[in-house]
Chains A and B, each alone.
Chain A
């Protein structure tokens, strides 16, 4: 028995991985996340609107998702329905945030690990110098520009308010956004999957993932060579809050179940080694994120990969990559609808009430999975605020009965680098895990 303690590079924040080795195989793994900043605490006693400015600061990469969860929770507490236009625009910017995350994650966070295994891919994915690394940053910042068109800036905007949004977008914003989307499509087709649109669509329809080319094809080939196509499996149970291009639900025993009951969700006490609190649904650990979303949405490629390889490293990664396309399509559709309601008001509640009492929660999808905010307000002041982040599902520690989702996925691996890569396939983020 040998204990190994790894500090991980390229994480949002800091995280450590403790591995217990026996006969050259990982026998036990602990994901340790520390450095708590205490955002929930800062909200106590403040005016409820302050949450819209403070909660995005939980995370510099998915701050927009926090804003959306926060505003939804407040709207529920107020009993307000957002204006249609506001709702559409919010969905668009929220999805754009996920898109830029996926691009950055695949090219800047994930692929550089392969550089350590395979010298030949260095010219593409080496940090700072790699060709694709550089292209990816460019595209990601274009997408961020798309968010800013509506929200004022990215990161850290606070343009979603009870009832809708603060901006009043016009045709100009919509047409610029469509430009950005087509650039993204081109990038995705040319580099990420390396094929013409028609060919990709037929691949997608048939679920034939082995035909994919480009960086995705290369990724699959490298994963195959490293034995990572089938490695990195966890509980094969998935959960998702819905709200974007697919309904909410959970996936268990190879069946998609609709409807998610918030009452059946539990946040347990954090363990001795991690600052994150484990979350359980009906007492069990579930994985959240693009793989959950793609399975629930029924993406044919993801489905057929999952049928063959279950919830492995490669399937998890490919689900995130393929979601780029699903989201782009969804945004196109919302943009069409937005055109029709552009002349309508941006909010259904122009002036927020200064004082009110109530409680509410917001369930939204962030890049890494389901994010939940809940708030209780008395006379306009925050009494309680609690946040359950996607990474708590995936990277949270063990409880009495179960290992954490990522912990379980690492068992049985044979190299520390593989262990890190599998952990990274969950889109590791420690800043939001412990907020």
Chain B
């Protein structure tokens, strides 16, 4: 009888508290959204299940425990290994031609990082977060999951779970968040600006781009090199045309394997005692502000650029909203919005892809600068 009592007392069931149950519900919501709404399923499912594992009492399956997930967390996230490998795959999967064909859209990708800095300032001065925490929260505005994880794991590892969940949740909510902001900042006339096709780009230029960008960005901001360097290496594998096997692996099996481990380990940081805090709610609110300001930043800067462009060269300011780096969703949102507003006459998908991929570079650079200045 004593043995049976001891067995019961040592079971997870006997040690379950309300916090674990709340986290099971949150995990269920993430998994539900991934399956039924198709919101970032490749990440929300591993994150959701990682959350369940982390909240099983006595199972030692949390990122901060001593089990297998902790091993993945310590060796994959704390060491900065996994996010750059995701960037390698992103580089393979990204076509930078729309950006190269219209280099002016580099600037829209920069302007759309505004939300990062607005959210960081709000977090520090309005809500009392430390500078490092504020910067890690602000990067949510970059709309880039791996970058958010990369920076949070360095500056505020205790906030990694909420920051990652906010980043990926808002990325999946781009189709809901962005259209009202685009509508607010653009006129009917501006939405009807039809942009000509970008100039064609030679294979030589496409191959030189990752090499030149990798060198220049890494020389300027060395702490951004893990992200930018591997992003550009992946893009070179894509464009050089002689590394088909490496391209397929980096853009397929490798990114999938890393996504599994990354999602699971991030989810496992969401043990109840770390996640169920006021800080998490504040991070979610700040994340929404970050996204809104980033979208607005891109839109407003596109309008400013138009002040200096002749009539035939004007850009459709809506593509500025795609400067947040949720690739390719932000560009698709802009395309759908403009097309709907103009009854299908104007379709700026390819022009919007320019700032969209520039935003990936912009958010990685912003993360690197924060690392340089705050560590």
A and B bind? no
